[in-house]
């Protein structure tokens, strides 16, 4: 499938929309880390070589194989030209996003869903296939003022600059919200009413792997003897896949039904936050505008699976191929409803594609 899930990211002039329609935008929470948060360094290892790159001074960085179009070059043939992105917030938290790379990005062995940020602290990241031609990366944080001699500054000339300590002080005094950067006091934020540490800042409470958006982890469960039911790559593959488990043939009808539920129920809570909060955090827009777009087109993701679980009273379980055993599938996320009457199984195939799974009997 082509097109984009890209709801949050960056758009300096030298970056182009990804495979068509969607434009890249810096997430509204993105910011160079506050000067007191310490310096952040990427340590890259590939083919026996190690390099270090300082990533402390900007809100985001692009990683990939093509040196002329990225901030940090991944010197491995099986990484993609633009493979992944790293984004910080002002509190110094770091998040990793796969940019629809061919061979994927993994954190502690869990493959990330493309174009969705995952919190990154001390996990080992692998860019590329796990068997050959990959780059392993770890993230180090240390007090500012401590610099290693072999460290390389990263980044091209991008239209972003680091705020000074005085500017941060000025921002806090001028009433700029530290949750959404709006022109109001943080305590009066109309978008994120909960304290920042209790809110799912940039997927901070999502667990391992980017698909843990609004669901729980997969619990290392392996589904065996399941039948793979391939779905068309027409932009509605997730909806087709859900329909298989729901015994419903109308994928476009399901798309519209889920979108309308989002529009009509912005204050319904899922995993402790309202749908309105999830949509604003994920897409930086209102439920009405999000639903209007999703009704017609757009790749479904965590919001749609969570809403499907709630609306249809089903569990939605998501899997990826189990690398240790051919034909088996490792569960990576669960969107569960306490009143569920059945479980729908979908397979994440990489990129932005989903297929359906039907468990075998016995």
Q: How far apart are CA 44 and CA 49, in angstroms?
A: 8
In the chain the domains, ranked by start, together with CATH numbers, are: 39-142 (2.60.200.20), 222-359 (3.90.70.80)
Distances 238 to 278, 281, 331 between C-alpha atoms, Å: 19, 21, 16
Q: What pLDDT does residue 300 have?
A: 87
Q: What pLDDT does residue 185 have?
A: 59
pTM over 0.85: no
Question: pLDDT tens for residues 19-75?
Answer: 433 445 668 888 888 766 778 889 898 877 888 898 988 899 999 998 888 999 987
Tens place of pLDDT per residue across the chain (362 aa): 333 332 233 322 222 333 433 445 668 888 888 766 778 889 898 877 888 898 988 899 999 998 888 999 987 888 999 999 999 988 888 999 999 899 999 988 889 988 888 899 878 899 998 777 788 888 887 654 333 334 344 443 222 222 333 333 333 344 444 444 445 555 555 544 444 333 333 222 332 233 334 566 667 899 998 999 999 988 899 999 999 999 998 999 999 999 999 999 999 988 778 899 888 877 778 899 999 989 988 878 889 999 999 999 999 999 998 877 778 999 988 999 999 989 999 998 876 789 999 998 75
Indicate the Cα dihedral angle 281, 287, 288, 289, nearest 10°. Answer: 20
Residues paired with residue 49 on neighbouring β-strands, in sequence order? 46
Distances 237 to 17, 150, 276, 297 between C-alpha atoms, Å: 22, 46, 24, 11
Q: What pLDDT does residue 188 have?
A: 58
Q: How far apart are CA 146 and CA 56, in angstroms?
A: 12
Q: What pLDDT does residue 198 have?
A: 32
Q: How far apart are CA 143 and CA 262, in angstroms?
A: 43
Q: What pLDDT does residue 362 have?
A: 55
With b for 16 or more beta-carbon neighbours within 10 A and e for fewer, the 307-319 pattern comes to bbbbbbebbbbbb
Q: What pLDDT does residue 220 have?
A: 80
Residues paired with residue 229 on neighbouring β-strands, in sequence order? 356
């Amino acid at each position: 499938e082509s097109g984009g899930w890209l709801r949050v990211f960056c758009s300096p002039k030298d970056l182009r929309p990804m495979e068509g329609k969607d434009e890249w935008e810096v997430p509204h929470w993105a910011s160079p880390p506050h000067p007191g948060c310490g310096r952040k360094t990427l340590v890259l290892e590939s083919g026996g070589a190690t390099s270090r790159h300082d990533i402390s001074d900007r809100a985001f960085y692009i990683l990939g194989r093509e040196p002329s179009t990225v901030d940090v070059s991944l010197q491995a043939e099986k990484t993609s030209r633009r493979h992944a992105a790293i984004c910080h917030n002002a509190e110094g938290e770091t998040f990793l996003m796969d940019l629809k790379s061919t061979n994927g990005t993994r954190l502690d062995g869990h493959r990330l869903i493309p174009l969705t940020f995952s919190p990154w602290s001390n996990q080992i990241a692998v860019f590329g296939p796990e068997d050959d031609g990959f780059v392993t990366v770890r993230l180090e944080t240390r007090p500012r003022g401590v610099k290693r001699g072999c460290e390389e500054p990263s980044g091209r000339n991008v239209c972003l600059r680091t705020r000074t300590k005085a500017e941060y002080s000025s921002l806090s005094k001028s009433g700029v919200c530290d949750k959404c950067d709006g022109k109001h006091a943080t305590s009066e934020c109309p978008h994120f009413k909960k304290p920042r540490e209790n809110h799912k800042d940039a997927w901070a409470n999502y667990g391992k792997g980017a698909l843990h958006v609004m669901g729980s982890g997969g619990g290392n469960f392996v589904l065996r003897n399941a039948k793979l039911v391939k779905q068309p790559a027409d932009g509605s593959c997730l909806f087709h896949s859900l329909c298989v488990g729901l015994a419903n043939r109308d994928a476009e009808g399901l798309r519209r039904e889920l979108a309308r539920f989002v529009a009509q129920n912005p204050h319904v809570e899922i995993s402790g936050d309202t749908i309105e909060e999830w949509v604003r955090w994920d897409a930086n827009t209102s439920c009405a505008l999000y639903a209007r777009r999703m009704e017609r087109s757009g790749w479904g993701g965590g919001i749609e699976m969570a809403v499907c679980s709630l609306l249809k009273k089903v569990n939605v379980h998501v899997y990826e191929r189990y690398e240790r055993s051919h034909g088996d599938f490792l569960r990576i996320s669960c969107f569960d409803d306490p009143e569920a009457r059945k479980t729908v199984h979908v397979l994440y195939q990489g990129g932005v594609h989903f297929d359906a799974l039907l468990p075998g009997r016995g």
